[in-house]
DNA sequence: ACTCACACGC
DNA sequence: GACGTACGTGTGAGTA
């Protein structure tokens, strides 16, 4: 087997990672983006290269031997940001966990260490691979030394071999030094010859081979100016050469046989990953399929009693309760067992033992026995499957964690525990495996893991609640999200009835039309191909049919709808493709997709609302997503005909807020004109058009109203001038003008936008009216894009988030009102600004008034909230 | 098992 | 003036 040596330029990779990735930080405010990027790069290299030897080199200190030659070496360079410097010790820790040597040497740079070892390795018969982001290292390339440079991002590299270099750069590795000597390097403050850039330098080296030859034959250089510059800066060039030349004989102490790589210590690495919150990476380190037992053996042991029959002594008030399931879908996943922790101990109750126990059921349903859970909704729904209606849920760690920081991507017990510095717990993935390898471990392991999770839940309650109070979020948590959670759970459990035959017959008709269109497209294309593949479609349209290329994606031609629409009258194949796409979407996502998740016993669909996911406070919906059922195009809207009441003689009733976000904006910004418009019950888009274009009502054309509508849309969703230009098909400049004119027209809005960004910069986050919070670390980003995106988010989130708060409040109010009035009507779905209800026909008259009133009065703004309603035999008809 | 391009809603 | 530009979920293709 050949010996393979990997040499990594530690500083360079850390820098790259730092600037390539957003400034992630974990809960304790420690930045981890560079470490994270470094880790992904390292994992990839180790997987791909399987090195026998490895070393990471770092720059030692401020001064190097090069400074003796040239004092200003690396002068003028920006100071390393503290957010990065603080990560270097972590990178070293990481390497220790991976058991990879790292090395630095006073007065020398990482380059010199790498160069020296590369040459030594080469002589000893190694295949050497150098990883860096610094092109200077290309001078090391030889038959047995290749250099991988990071391209975009961090794991994306390009490997330079002598032949690749010749092809790509048209010069040899040996010429790299001379190239740099001529062109200099501003980032290292290397002068080179002024006025000579890469192009000229390459040209010179083509002609004269080496730097020495260039100057020996300087008379032959074409161009008077160039010749002069060379003659005047000969010394600079040779000094530059000295500076960029890597010292391949640096006095380093390490020997090659001391830097063998024998694989990492998975326990240490796992520990490190957990500490820093690198969950996604944990799955990539257990080469030899560590089972649940091994993972747990590494943790301090705990005492879990496996219960074989439930007795009263374990069912206390104030208990942490975990209903454990491996699958995501709690409507269908088997319950693997129950975790219970209270003052009397830590218990694991096997599913059948719990569910067959009358005592357990009675305890669960007793509202005076307070339960602390993780995910109240999931707990509620899964117990309902066993005919248990849980009561007395007093604490929900999932919701609390989400409210404290919604941008945290992992709101599971182990992740939250690690964020709060509680270590004795493994991630689900480590215990259960993931994907196809996921399996229920044997009972002892299961009980141990569930026991730990329940213990963590039990122990974290107080500090998490305290945090909510500190954030002034107690009311949001306790009066809004917690009650809502149970209502959502009930909605999910009730489900929505579906007319399966209707879906199936629509599917058949669609299939027929799809095949027909497909045939026609193939005929027009002159060949058959996979019409669902943009990769295959691109060449047909833009090469074979020679249609003009408007936009490319990184993998080929863009064939998205907005591009195809611009080509619509260029070729008759285009409208057919668009129709095929439209119908294909309906078929695969909505017909087939929905049929897949219909319960075949009850013909109902049970979505799951994710209450702890979006950054703004909105809900999301999965398996299936019932918040994106088509409505815009009639063809798709018909899908809604398949959503029907679950009982004979009932109707679907729908109520939606009219312009809730813009009303919220009027309120928050306290903009006189906007408030006036809503108080006068004006058509807001027409009003906006009047104000932006300075015209009277009857002068507003359709075109103007359409543009005003898009501007309003942009304000609500926080899109950029670019986004607005795209949606209106105008230039960015024009779009910006629209936005500016809008802000001139509504000075209150302008003031709000400025203030909210200002305030967010000061405190680091924005809030909604109900104190929902969103952190925006990118507000201080050095990257313009990031910063402006964060600024738009700062303006937009209070608007969208407050609207989300309001409809959530309305759901709670409505739920209670329906119960108080003894109505049978029940809420089925929420679609951001709309509630879908089913009700017996005789309740409709009552509902019209009651639902509207509750929704409009749920929250009092400086402008009225307006609710429209409709009903019919299907969701389609409730329009 | 993953990423990409695309498309649906608000 | 650059850069790549509301947020979600789900699908099929393509690659590893």
pLDDT single digits (tens) A29-85: 677 888 888 888 888 888 778 888 999 999 887 777 787 777 777 766 667 777 788
Residue A834 CB in 7 A reach of strand B: yes
Neighbours of A367 (CB within 10 A): 11
Positions 717-776 of A with beta carbon below 7 A from strand B are 717
- Average the pLDDT over A773-798 and give the result: 91
Given this model, what pLDDT does residue A291 score? 62
Instruction: Give the three-class secondary structure for A509.
Output: helix
Nearest nt to the A788 alpha carbon by C1': C5
Q: Which CATH class is domain A663-799?
A: mainly alpha
Positions 633-662 of A with beta carbon below 7 A from strand B are 633, 636-637
CA dihedral defined by A592, A597, A602, A603, rounded to 10 degrees? Answer: -20
Of all protein residues, which has its CA closest to the C1' atom of C8? A620
Q: What angle do CA A23, A25, A29 make, to 5 degrees?
A: 125
Of all protein residues, which has its CA closest to the C1' atom of C4? A785
- Identify the weakest region by mean pLDDT among A80-84, A619-623, A775-779, A812-816: A80-84
User: How far, in Å, CA of A211 to CA of A238, rounded?
Assistant: 8
Bridge partners (DSSP) of residue A620 are A610
Nearest to A573 by CA among A541, A603, A532, A548: A541
Nearest nt to the A803 alpha carbon by C1': B10
Region of A877 (left: φ > 0; alpha: ψ -120 to 50; beta: rest) is alpha
Which helix (H) or strand (E) element contains residue A345? strand A345-349
User: How far, in Å, CA of A323 to CA of A217, rounded?
Assistant: 82
Q: Whole-number Å distance, CA A254 to C1' B3?
A: 41
Q: What is the DSSP letter of A480?
A: I
Ranked by mean pLDDT, the top range of A11-15, A70-74, A375-379 is A375-379
Q: What angle do CA A651, A654, A657 make, to 5 degrees?
A: 165
Given this model, what pLDDT does residue A288 score? 46
User: How far, in Å, CA of A301 to CA of A426, rounded?
Assistant: 12
Given this model, what pLDDT does residue A474 score? 98
The protein footprint on chain B, as nucleotides within 7 A of a CB, is 1-2, 4-10
Positions 381-440 of A with beta carbon below 7 A from strand B are 434-437
- Residues sharing a CB contact under 8 Å with residue A775, sequence separation 6 or more, in sequence order: A405, A407, A764, A765
Given CATH 1.10.275.10, say whether it is the number of domain A305-471: no
The protein footprint on chain C, as nucleotides within 7 A of a CB, is 2-14
Positions 566-595 of A with beta carbon below 7 A from strand B are 578, 581-582, 585, 589
Given this model, what pLDDT does residue A384 score? 98
Q: Whole-number Å distance, CA A632 to C1' B10?
A: 12
CA dihedral defined by A160, A163, A165, A171, rounded to 10 degrees? Answer: 150
Contact indicator for A608, A621 with CB cutoff of 8 Å: yes
Q: Whole-number Å distance, CA A803 to C1' C9?
A: 21
Nearest to A114 by CA among A28, A841, A105, A125: A105
User: How far, in Å, CA of A659 to CA of A630, rounded?
Assistant: 20
Q: How far is CA A130 from CA A133, A139, A170, in A?
A: 10, 11, 21
Comma-separated ranges of CATH 3.30.420.10 domains in chain A: 305-471
User: How far, in Å, CA of A129 to CA of A118, rounded?
Assistant: 8
pLDDT at A195 over 90: no
- Average the pLDDT over A257-283 and give the result: 80
Q: What is the DSSP letter of A81?
A: P
Of all protein residues, which has its CA closest to the C1' atom of B3? A555
Given this model, what pLDDT does residue A229 score? 76
Residue A632 CB in 7 A reach of strand B: yes
Region of A329 (left: φ > 0; alpha: ψ -120 to 50; beta: rest) is beta
Of all protein residues, which has its CA closest to the C1' atom of B8? A628
Neighbours of A446 (CB within 10 A): 23
Nearest nt to the A789 alpha carbon by C1': C5
Task: Please give the radius of gyration of chain A, using alpha carbons only, rounded to the nearest integer.
Answer: 33
Instruction: Give the three-class secondary structure for A359.
Output: helix
User: How far, in Å, CA of A635 to CA of A654, rounded?
Assistant: 20
Bridge partners (DSSP) of residue A605 are A496, A598
Say which residue, A286 or A551, is predicted with more confidence.
Answer: A551
DSSP string, A792-822: HHHHHHHHHHHHHHHHHHHHHHHHHHHHHTT
Of all protein residues, which has its CA closest to the C1' atom of C6? A717
Q: Average model confidence (pLDDT) for chain A? A: 90
Q: In what order do the strands lie in the sheet with A3-9?
A: A101-104, A53-58, A3-9, A126-132, A145-150, A157-160
Of all protein residues, which has its CA closest to the C1' atom of B4? A555
The CATH number of A170-246 is which of 1.10.540.10, 1.10.150.20, 3.30.1020.10, 2.40.40.20? 1.10.150.20
Residue A550 CB in 7 A reach of strand B: no
Q: In what order do the strands lie in the sheet with A496-498?
A: A604-605, A496-498, A643-644
Nearest nt to the A792 alpha carbon by C1': C6
Say which residue, A32 or A121, is predicted with more confidence.
Answer: A121
Bridge partners (DSSP) of residue A827 are A837
Comma-separated ranges of CATH 1.20.1060.10 domains in chain A: 500-602
Using CA of residue A756, residue A758, residue A759, residue A765, what is the dihedral sign?
A: positive
Name the packing angle between helices A672-679 and A747-763 (round to 10°). Answer: 120
- Average the pLDDT over A102-121 and give the result: 90
User: How far, in Å, CA of A687 to CA of A678, rounded?
Assistant: 10
Comma-separated ranges of CATH 1.10.150.20 domains in chain A: 170-246, 663-799
Nearest nt to the A556 alpha carbon by C1': B5
Q: What are phi and psi of A134, to 5 degrees?
A: -100, 120
pLDDT at A640 over 90: yes
Given this model, what pLDDT does residue A23 score? 65
pLDDT digits 0-9 by tens, A506-521:
999 999 999 999 999 9
Given this model, what pLDDT does residue A496 score? 97
DSSP string, A546-558: -PPP--EETTEE-
Neighbours of A58 (CB within 10 A): 21
Q: What are phi and psi of A392, to 5 degrees?
A: 80, 25
- Average the pLDDT over A338-355 and give the result: 98
Q: What is the DSSP letter of A343?
A: T
> What is the CATH T-level fold of the domain A1-166+253-283, as seen in this structure?
Rossmann fold (3.40.50)
pLDDT at A153 over 70: no
Nearest nt to the A607 alpha carbon by C1': C9
Given this model, what pLDDT does residue A649 score? 97
Burial class for A801, CB neighbours closer than 10 Å (0-12, 13-18, 19+): buried
Residue A628 CB in 7 A reach of strand B: yes
pLDDT at A758 over 70: yes
Q: Whole-number Å distance, CA A535 to C1' C14?
A: 9
Of all protein residues, which has its CA closest to the C1' atom of B6? A560
Of all protein residues, which has its CA closest to the C1' atom of C12? A532
Q: What is the DSSP letter of A433?
A: -
Comma-separated ranges of CATH 3.40.50.1010 domains in chain A: 1-166+253-283
Neighbours of A763 (CB within 10 A): 11
pLDDT digits 0-9 by tens, A157-181:
778 888 887 877 778 888 888 887 7
pLDDT digits 0-9 by tens, A659-669:
999 999 999 99
Q: Whole-number Å distance, CA A157 to C1' C14?
A: 21
Residue A706 CB in 7 A reach of strand B: no
pLDDT digits 0-9 by tens, A599-613:
999 999 999 999 999
Residue A681 CB in 7 A reach of strand B: no
pLDDT digits 0-9 by tens, A438-487:
999 999 999 999 999 999 999 999 999 999 999 999 999 999 999 999 99
Contact residues for strand C with beta carbon within 7 Å? A 530, 532-533, 535-536, 588-589, 592-593, 596, 610, 613-616, 620-625, 628, 717-720, 722-723, 732, 784-785, 788-789, 792-793
Q: Whole-number Å distance, CA A593 to C1' C13?
A: 18
> What is the CATH T-level fold of the domain A500-602, as seen in this structure?
Taq DNA Polymerase; Chain T, domain 4 (1.20.1060)
Of all protein residues, which has its CA closest to the C1' atom of C7? A614
Of all protein residues, which has its CA closest to the C1' atom of B10? A832
- Residues sharing a CB contact under 8 Å with residue A40, sequence separation 6 or more, in sequence order: A154, A155, A281
Contact indicator for A659, A866 with CB cutoff of 8 Å: yes
Going by pLDDT thresholds of 50, 70 and 90, the confidence category of residue A223 is confident
Of all protein residues, which has its CA closest to the C1' atom of C9? A625
Burial A392-425 (b: 16+ CB within 10 A, else e): bbbbbbbbbbbbbbbebeebbbbbbbbbbebeeb
Q: In what order do the strands lie in the sheet with A834-840?
A: A826-830, A834-840, A650-657, A867-872
Going by pLDDT thresholds of 50, 70 and 90, the confidence category of residue A287 is very low
Q: Whole-number Å distance, CA A305 to C1' B7?
A: 51
User: How far, in Å, CA of A685 to CA of A868, rounded?
Assistant: 17
Which helix (H) or strand (E) element contains residue A41? helix A33-49
Q: What is the DSSP letter of A585?
A: H
Given this model, what pLDDT does residue A190 score? 77
Q: Whole-number Å distance, CA A657 to C1' B10?
A: 12
Q: What are phi and psi of A692, to 5 degrees?
A: -75, -40
Say which residue, A596 or A62, is predicted with more confidence.
Answer: A596
Name the packing angle between helices A376-384 and A482-494 (round to 10°). Answer: 30
Q: Whole-number Å distance, CA A626 to C1' B6?
A: 19
Nearest nt to the A577 alpha carbon by C1': B6
């Amino acid at each position: 087997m050949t010996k393979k040596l990997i040499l990594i330029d530690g500083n360079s990779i850390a820098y790259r990672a730092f600037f390539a990735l957003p400034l992630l930080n974990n809960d304790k405010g420690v930045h981890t983006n560079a470490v994270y990027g470094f880790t992904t790069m390292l994992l990839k290299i180790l997987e791909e290269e399987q090195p026998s030897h490895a070393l990471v080199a770092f720059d030692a200190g401020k001064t190097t031997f090069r400074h003796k030659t040239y004092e200003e070496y690396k002068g003028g360079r920006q100071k390393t940001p503290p957010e990065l410097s603080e990560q270097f010790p972590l990178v070293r820790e990481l390497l220790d966990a991976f058991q990879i040597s790292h090395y630095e040497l006073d007065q020398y740079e990482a380059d010199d260490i790498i160069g020296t070892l590369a040459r030594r390795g080469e002589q000893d018969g190694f295949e050497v691979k150098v990883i860096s982001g610094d092109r200077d290292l290309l001078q090391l390339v030889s038959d047995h030394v290749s250099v991988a440079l990071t391209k975009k991002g961090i794991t994306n590299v390009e490997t330079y071999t002598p032949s690749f270099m010749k092809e790509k750069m048209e010069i040899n590795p040996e010429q790299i030094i001379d190239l740099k000597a001529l062109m200099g390097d501003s980032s290292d403050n290397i002068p080179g010859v002024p006025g000579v850039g890469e192009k000229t330098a390459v040209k010179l080296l083509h002609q004269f081979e080496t730097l020495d030859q260039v100057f020996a034959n300087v008379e032959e250089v074409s161009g008077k100016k160039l010749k002069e510059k060379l003659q005047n800066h000969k010394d600079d060039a040779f000094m530059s050469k000295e500076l960029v030349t890597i010292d391949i004989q640096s006095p380093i102490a390490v020997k090659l046989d001391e830097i063998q790589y024998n694989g990492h210590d998975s326990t240490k690495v796992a520990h490190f990953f957990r500490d820093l919150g690198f969950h996604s990476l944990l799955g990539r380190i257990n080469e030899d399929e560590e089972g649940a037992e091994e993972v747990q053996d590494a943790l301090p042991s705990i005492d879990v009693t496996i219960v074989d029959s439930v007795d009263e002594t374990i069912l206390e008030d104030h208990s942490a309760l975990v209903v454990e399931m491996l699958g995501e879908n709690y409507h269908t996943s088997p319950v693997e067992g129950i975790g219970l922790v209270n003052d009397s101990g830590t218990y694991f109750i096997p599913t059948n033992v719990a569910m067959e126990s009358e005592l357990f059921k009675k305890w669960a349903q007793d509202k005076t026995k307070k339960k602390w859970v993780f995910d109240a909704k999931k707990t509620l729904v899964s117990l309902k499957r066993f005919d248990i209606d849980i009561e007395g849920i007093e604490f929900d760690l999932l919701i609390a964690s989400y409210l404290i920081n919604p941008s945290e991507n992992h709101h599971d017990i182990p992740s939250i525990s690690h964020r709060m510095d509680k270590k004795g717990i493994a991630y689900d993935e480590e215990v259960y495996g993931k994907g196809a390898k996921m399996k229920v471990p044997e009972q002892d392991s299961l009980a141990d893991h569930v026991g730990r999770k329940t213990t963590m839940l039990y122990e974290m309650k107080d500090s998490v609640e305290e945090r909510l109070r500190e954030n002034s979020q107690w009311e949001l948590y306790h009066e809004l999200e917690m009650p809502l959670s149970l209502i959502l759970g009930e909605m999910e459990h009730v489900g929505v009835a579906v007319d399966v035959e209707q879906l199936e017959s629509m599917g058949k008709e669609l299939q027929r039309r799809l095949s027909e269109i497909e045939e026609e497209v193939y005929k027009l294309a002159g060949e058959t191909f996979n019409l669902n593949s943009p990769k295959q479609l691109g060449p047909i349209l833009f090469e074979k049919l020679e249609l003009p290329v408007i936009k490319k994606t990184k993998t080929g031609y863009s064939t998205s709808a907005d591009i195809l629409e611009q080509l619509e009258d260029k070729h008759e194949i285009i409208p057919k493709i668009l129709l095929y796409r439209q119908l294909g979407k309906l078929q695969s996502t909505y017909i087939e997709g929905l049929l897949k998740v219909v319960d075949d016993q009850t013909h109902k669909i049970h979505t799951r609302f994710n209450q702890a996911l979006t950054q703004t406070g909105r809900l999301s919906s999965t398996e299936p997503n019932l918040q994106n059922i088509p409505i815009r195009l009639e063809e798709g809207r018909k899908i809604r005909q398949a959503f029907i009441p679950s009982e004979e003689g009932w109707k679907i009733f729908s109520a939606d807020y009219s312009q809730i976000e813009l009303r919220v904006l009027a309120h928050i910004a306290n903009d006189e004109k906007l408030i006036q418009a809503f108080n006068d019950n004006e058509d807001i888009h027409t009003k906006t058009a009047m104000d932006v274009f300075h015209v009277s009502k009857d002068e507003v054309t359709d075109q103007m109203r359409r543009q005003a509508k898009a501007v309003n849309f942009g304000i609500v969703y926080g899109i950029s001038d670019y986004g607005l230009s795209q949606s209106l098909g105008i230039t960015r400049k024009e779009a910006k003008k629209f936005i500016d004119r809008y802000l001139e027209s509504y000075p209150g809005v302008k003031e709000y936008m400025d203030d909210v960004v200002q305030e967010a910069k000061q405190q680091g986050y924005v809030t909604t009216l109900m104190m929902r919070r969103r952190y925006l670390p990118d507000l201080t980003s050095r990257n313009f894009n990031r910063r402006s995106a964060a600024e738009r988010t700062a303006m937009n989130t209070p608007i969208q988030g407050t609207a989300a708060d309001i409809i959530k409040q309305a759901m709670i109010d409505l739920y209670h009102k329906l119960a108080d009035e003894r109505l049978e009507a029940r809420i089925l779905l929420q679609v951001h600004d709309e509630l879908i209800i089913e009700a017996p026909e005789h309740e409709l008259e009552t509902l019209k008034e009651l639902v509207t009133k509750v929704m409009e009065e749920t929250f009092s703004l400086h402008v009225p909230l307006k609710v429209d309603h409709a009903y019919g035999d299907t969701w389609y008809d409730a329009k």
